[in-house]
C-alpha cells in the first residue's frame, strides 16, 4: 500500500513519521510545495525577535533525516493542483523544472494547512509588506528587517500572531502600531480581560487603532503610508495578520465535503467523505468536545495529533478522536493569556445559554511576596449547569492552569463538580482556593 | 440552633464564616485552644525565611473581625477535653483562669487539626528544638532565630515542611543537615524524580543523611548534638518534622468511629457516626476520588473545603463531597515538585495493579530560550487502563500543570483518553505535546 501525503508541516510530517513507525515497509510519499518541512511555525515571532538567531534553528527535523533515517520519499517544491479521485491520482507542478507530475495513491492524506487571509486593501502587494505563516515568510521578514532600516511597523489585525509579533518588534526596538477594522481588541475574550491586554500593549508603547478601516497603502520614498478611516499611519513595514483560512481548494474541487469555515470535513477517524482520503491539520475540521458539533480551529497540537491519528487509522488502528476543547495560550509582553472552550458568543452559536462570571484573584498566597493579579472569566450553561469554558490572564500562573478546565471540558463536567476538584496549593503558586475554583464558585451561584 | 466548633484554624473558621453567611441569626461558638485563628500555616516557612516580616502578617482575618463583623462567639485559650454525647455538651479548660467550661451544642463540628509526630528520641525536649505546626510554633522559631546565633540547623524528616524549612534556613544563611531513619528521601516519589530533588538539595548545600536512626540529642555549651546510628551531628537548632497525626482523641474517646491513620471517620456529608457531630480538616478522613476508599491526607484546600461543606450540610444544604485526589505541590529551592493521585505503593494499597513510566521533557518549545527539564512519572492500572496519578518536577511549569491530571482523576479517566485532552501550547510555555501527554502516550503503550 502506498500513502501519499500532501503537505510537509505539522500534520503531514507527524503522519509520515507515524506511518513509518507502524509499517517499516510502507511506501510513503510527501509532496511539499515549499522547501521547508517540520519546523516550529509558532516559534517564528520569538526567532524574529532575536537577530542573532537563524530562522532555520526552528527546523525540528531536516528533510535529510526524513529521507535517510525514516526512508520517506519527501519531494519538496511539489505543488498539488488537483486530485483525480476516479483514478486515485494527484496531479501537480514541480517548481524547479515546471514539470507536471502525476502520482498514484492507495491512501491519500491532505495536510495542506492554512494560508493568511489577505484583507482587500489596495497596495497590499507593495515592498515591505509581508504576512507570517510559513518559514519562507519568516525568512523574508528576518531578511527584510536586517537589510532595511525599520524603525516603525504597522500590524493589521490583533490576533495571536499579531500580538506575538507586536512583542517581537518591540524587542527589536521597532515602534509598533496595531490597526484593525473591528472595534473590539479580542472579540473572543470577556471585556474585563481584553481591557487588561489593551493596557499591557499600551504600557509597552504599542499604539492601538481598533475600528479603523484601512482604505489603501501607498509607498513613498520614506516608507509606507496607510490611509485609514480616521487616521494616516506611516511606517517602514506592514504585517497583515488578520487570520488564516484552510487550504481546502483541491479537496473541495475534488468533491469532498466541506466543514465549517470552508475547511475539509473529516469524521472522528480523520476520514473525508472519500474512504481513501484523509485530512488533518489546519485544513481539516474537528468535533468540539462540548457540543459534539463541527468546528474549525487551526492549532498546532491538533494538527500534530490529527496527522498522527490519520496514519494510525490508515494503517488499521481504529483510533477514535475525542475532538478539541479549543485550548490556546499566548504570551503578550508580561502577560500569559489562555483560553479553553467557548467564549460567550461561541457558546450561543453552539446552542448553549451561557452565563459568564469575571473574577480577580492572585497568583500566590496571602502575603506571599511577588504575587500578581490573575483574572478569570468562566462560562457555564444556564440550562444544564455544564462548564462551557474559561479565559484567564496574568503575569504568571495562567498558561498551564487553563488545562484543568480543558480536561474538565473533555469530561463534560458540571460547574459545581469542577468546583469540587482537588487542585494543587502551596503559597508560592497560588491561594488555597485556586483562581479557577473561586471562579467556579461564583459561577455556580449564578446558574 | 447553636453550632459549636472545636478549632479555629482552616476548617473551623471556614465553617464558622460559611455558617454565618447561610444563617445571619445562627449562634456560632468557636473554641480555639491557642491564641491564634485563621492564619496561613503553609506560609510559615516563607515568613521565617524573611527576618523583616512579622509572623502575624500570616493572619488572614484577626479574631476581632470574626467577633465584630461576623458576630461569631470566638473563645481563644479554650481547650476541649471531652465530648459528652448523651448531654450534647463539650467540656474543657479555659487557659487563663484555669476554669472548667461546659457548653451545650445542637450541632458540633470537630476541627481540631493535626499535631506533629514527635519521634521517640531522648533529649527532644531540650532548648533549641521546636517543630513547626501552628502559628505559636512559628513565632517561637522566629524569636529563637533572632535572639540566638544559629549558624547550623538539623532537620529531622524530609517531608514538605522539612524541605520548605531547609530552604528557609538556607535563605537565612544557616547551614542545614537533614536526617531521617528511612533510607529513601521521598518514599512517595518515583526514584528518578526523588534523585533530582536530592541533587537540588545538595546543590544548595543541604547535607543529607537518610537511613540514620537518631539515638539521642544532647545539649552542650556550644549547642546541640545528635547521636545517629553512623554519624554525630552538631548544630544550634533542631527542627523535628516527621509528619503529623490527627487530633482525634476527644472524638474517639467519645466513641465516634475512626478512619485511616486514627483520623475521625466522616461520610460524604462530613458527618461522623453521631448525627449531631461533624468533623473536617486535618483531623478527619476523606474519600479518595479514584478508589472510593477512605484515606487521610492533611492538606489545606481539603480542610477549607471540608469546613465549608460541613457548615453547608449542618444548615441543610445537602452538599455531597466528591473527595480528594491528593494533589499537592511544594517548592524546594529552584524546583516545583507536584503530585496528584496515587504513588506506586499507594496504588497497590488501594487495590490497583500499577504500571509507572518516567519521562523527561522540556518546559518550553524546541529551541525556545530558557527551556528547563521537566520530569514526569505517571501511573496507570494494568487491569482497567485507569489513570492513577502523576508526579512531576522542574524549575518551571509544574505547579499548575499537575491540575490537568487531578481533574482527570476526578473523572476516572483512562490513560488513553487523557492522552487525547486538548492542552494548551505556545513556545514560551511548553512543547507542542505537553510533558503530561508525552507521559500518557508512553504509559498507554505499557498498559
Min CA distance, A218 vs chain B (Å)?
A: 35
- A39-53 pLDDT, tens digit per residue, is 999 999 999 999 999
- B328/A366 Cβ within 8 A: no
CB atoms within 10 A of CB B279: 31
Across chain B, what does the average pLDDT equal?
A: 96
- A397/B401 Cβ within 8 A: no
Positive or negative: CA dihedral B123, B125, B130, B133: positive
What are the angstrom distances between the C-alpha of B348 and each of B263, B297, B382?
21, 17, 11
Cell 517499516, located at residue: A24
- B399-424 pLDDT, tens digit per residue, is 999 999 999 999 999 999 999 999 99
- Which residues in chain A show pLDDT less than 70? none
- B119-132 pLDDT, tens digit per residue, is 999 999 999 999 99
Candidates B422, B425, B439, partner chain A, best to mutate (most A CBs within 10 A): B422
Task: Note the pLDDT of residue A440.
Answer: 98
B214 phi, psi to nearest 5 deg: -100, 115
- A403/B424 Cβ within 8 A: yes
B279 pLDDT band (50/70/90 cuts)?
A: very high
- B88-106 pLDDT, tens digit per residue, is 999 999 999 999 999 999 9
- B7 neighbors B13 (Cβ within 8 angstroms): no
- A26 neighbors A1 (Cβ within 8 angstroms): yes
Domains of chain A: 2-40+60-115+244-314 (3.50.50.60), 118-240 (3.50.50.60), 328-446 (3.30.390.30)
The string of DSSP codes covering B246-282 is: E--HHHHHTTPPB-GGG-B---TTSB-SSTTEEE-ST
- A399/B404 Cβ within 8 A: no
What are the angstrom distances between the C-alpha of B401 and each of A359, B349, B357?
21, 26, 17
- B302 neighbors B318 (Cβ within 8 angstroms): no
What are the cell numbers at B99? 476554669
Half-sphere exposure of B389 (CA within 13 A, CB side): 29
Chain A environment of B367 (Cβ under 8 Å)? 40, 43, 47, 57-58
Task: Note the pLDDT of residue B366.
Answer: 80
State the DSSP code for A134.
Answer: S
CB atoms within 10 A of CB A185: 19
Rounded to a whole number of angstroms, the CA Rg of chain B reads 23
What are the cell numbers at B76? 481563644
User: In this model, does residue B170 exceed pLDDT 90?
Assistant: yes
Long-range contacts of B18-25 (CB under 8 A, 24+ apart): B18/B307, B18/B308, B18/B311, B18/B312, B19/B311, B19/B314, B19/B315, B20/B70, B20/B71, B20/B72, B22/B311, B22/B312, B22/B315, B22/B317, B23/B315
The string of DSSP codes covering B135-172 is: HHHHHHHHHHHHHS---EEEEE--SHHHHHHHHHHHHT
Cell 510519499, located at residue: A29
Chain A environment of B433 (Cβ under 8 Å)? 301, 304
What is the pLDDT averaged over residues B301-326? 97
Long-range contacts of B91-97 (CB under 8 A, 24+ apart): B92/B31, B95/B33
A–B interface: beta-carbon pairs under 8 A = 221
Select the residue of A301, A336, A404 nearest B406 (Cβ to Cβ): A404
- A413/B424 Cβ within 8 A: no
B363 pLDDT band (50/70/90 cuts)?
A: very high
Min CA distance, A150 vs chain B (Å)?
A: 25
B222 pLDDT band (50/70/90 cuts)?
A: confident
CA A299/CA B207 separation, integer angstroms: 47
Threshold 0.80, pTM exceeds: yes
Burial A155-179 (b: 16+ CB within 10 A, else e): bbbbbbbbbbbbbbbbebebbbbbb
Where does B23-62 have alpha helices with state H? Answer: 44-48
The string of DSSP codes covering A163-222 is: HHHHHHHHHTT-EEEEEESSS-SSTTS-HHHHHHHHHHHHHTTEEEEET--EEEEEEETT
CA A312/CA A21 separation, integer angstroms: 10
A441 phi, psi to nearest 5 deg: -65, -45
Candidates A407, A411, A440, A442, partner chain B, best to mutate (most B CBs within 10 A): A407
CB atoms within 10 A of CB B258: 15
What are the angstrom distances between the C-alpha of B377 and each of B329, B392, B413, B442?
14, 6, 17, 10
Q: Which residue of A has its CA nearest to B401?
A: A400
B232 forms beta bridges with B227
What are the cell numbers at B206? 543541604
Residues of B tagged active-site? 42
User: In this model, does residue B429 exceed pLDDT 90?
Assistant: yes
Task: Note the pLDDT of residue A366.
Answer: 80
- A299-319 pLDDT, tens digit per residue, is 999 999 999 999 999 999 999
Chain B environment of A325 (Cβ under 8 Å)? 421-422
Across chain A, what does the average pLDDT equal?
A: 96
- What is the separation, in whole angstroms, between the first and last Cα of chain A? 54
B171 exposure class (CB count in 10 Å sphere: 0-12, 13-18, 19+): middle
Q: Which helix (H) or strand (E) holds B67?
A: helix B63-68
CA A425/CA B399 separation, integer angstroms: 8
Select the residue of A46, A367, A434 nearest B57 (Cβ to Cβ): A367
Q: Which residue of B has its CA nearest to A321?
A: B420
| Lowest-confidence pick of A198-202, B185-189, B263-267 | B185-189
Q: Which helix (H) or strand (E) holds A47?
A: helix A44-48
What are the angstrom distances between the C-alpha of A266 and each of A256, A306, A324, A346, B318?
10, 10, 13, 21, 45
**Cα A433 versus chain centre, distance:** 31
CA A444/CA A355 separation, integer angstroms: 10
Cell 461546659, located at residue: B102
Of B146, B158, B133, B159, whose CA–CA distance to B236 is shortest? B146
- A110 neighbors A250 (Cβ within 8 angstroms): yes
What are the cell numbers at B244? 503529623
- A301/B42 Cβ within 8 A: no
Q: Which residue of B has its CA nearest to A324?
A: B422
Amino acid at each position: 500500500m502506498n500513502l501519499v501525503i500532501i503537505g510537509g508541516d505539522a500534520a503531514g510530517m507527524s503522519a509520515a513519521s507515524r506511518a513509518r513507525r507502524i509499517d517499516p515497509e510502507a511506501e510513503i510519499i510527501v509532496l511539499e510545495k515549499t522547501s521547508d518541512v517540520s519546523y516550529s511555525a509558532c516559534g517564528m515571532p520569538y526567532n524574529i525577535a532575536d537577530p542573532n538567531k537563524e530562522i532555520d534553528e526552528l527546523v525540528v527535523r531536516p528533510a535529510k533525516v526524513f529521507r535517510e533515517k525514516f526512508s520517506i520519499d519527501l519531494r519538496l517544491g511539489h505543488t498539488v493542483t488537483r486530485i483525480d479521485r476516479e483514478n486515485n491520482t494527484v496531479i501537480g507542478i514541480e517548481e524547479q523544472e515546471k514539470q507536471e507530475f502525476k502520482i498514484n495513491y492507495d491512501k491519500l492524506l491532505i495536510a495542506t494547512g492554512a494560508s493568511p487571509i489577505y484583507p482587500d486593501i489596495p497596495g497590499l502587494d507593495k515592498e515591505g509588506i509581508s504576512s507570517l505563516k510559513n518559514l519562507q515568510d519568516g525568512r523574508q521578514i528576518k531578511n527584510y528587517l536586517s537589510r532595511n532600516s525599520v524603525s516603525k511597523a504597522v500590524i493589521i489585525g490583533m490576533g495571536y500572531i499579531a500580538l506575538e509579533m507586536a512583542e517581537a518588534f518591540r524587542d527589536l526596538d521597532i515602534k509598533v502600531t496595531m490597526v484593525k477594522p473591528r472595534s473590539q481588541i479580542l472579540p473572543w475574550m470577556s471585556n474585563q480581560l481584553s481591557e487588561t491586554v489593551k493596557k499591557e500593549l499600551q504600557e509597552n508603547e504599542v499604539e492601538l487603532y481598533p475600528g479603523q478601516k484601512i482604505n489603501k497603502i501607498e509607498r513613498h520614498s520614506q516608507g509606507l503610508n496607510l490611509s485609514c478611516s480616521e487616521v494616516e499611519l506611516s511606517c517602514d513595514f506592514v504585517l497583515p495578520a488578520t487570520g488564516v483560512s484552510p487550504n481546502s481548494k483541491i479537496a473541495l474541487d475534488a468533491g469532498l465535503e466541506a466543514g465549517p469555515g470552508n475547511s475539509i470535513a473529516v469524521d472522528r477517524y480523520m476520514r473525508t467523505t472519500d474512504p481513501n482520503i484523509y485530512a488533518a491539520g489546519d485544513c481539516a475540521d474537528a468535533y468540539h468536545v462540548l457540543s459534539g458539533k463541527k468546528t474549525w480551529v487551526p492549532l498546532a497540537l491538533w494538527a500534530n495529533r490529527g496527522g498522527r491519528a490519520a496514519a494510525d487509522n490508515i494503517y488499521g488502528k481504529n483510533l477514535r478522536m475525542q475532538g478539541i476543547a479549543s485550548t490556546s495560550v499566548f504570551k503578550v509582553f508580561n502577560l500569559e493569556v489562555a483560553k479553553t472552550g467557548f467564549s460567550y458568543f461561541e457558546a450561543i452559536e453552539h446552542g448553549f445559554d451561557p452565563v459568564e462570571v469575571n473574577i480577580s484573584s492572585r497568583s500566590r498566597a496571602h502575603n506571599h511576596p511577588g504575587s500578581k493579579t490573575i483574572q478569570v472569566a468562566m462560562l457555564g450553561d444556564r440550562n444544564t449547569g455544564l462548564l462551557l469554558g474559561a479565559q484567564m490572564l496574568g503575569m504568571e500562573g495562567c498558561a498551564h492552569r487553563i488545562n484543568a478546565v480543558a480536561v474538565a471540558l473533555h469530561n463534560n463536567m458540571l460547574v459545581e463538580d469542577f468546583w469540587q476538584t482537588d487542585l494543587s496549593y502551596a503559597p508560592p503558586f497560588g491561594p488555597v482556593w485556586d483562581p479557577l475554583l473561586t471562579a467556579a464558585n461564583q459561577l455556580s451561584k449564578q446558574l
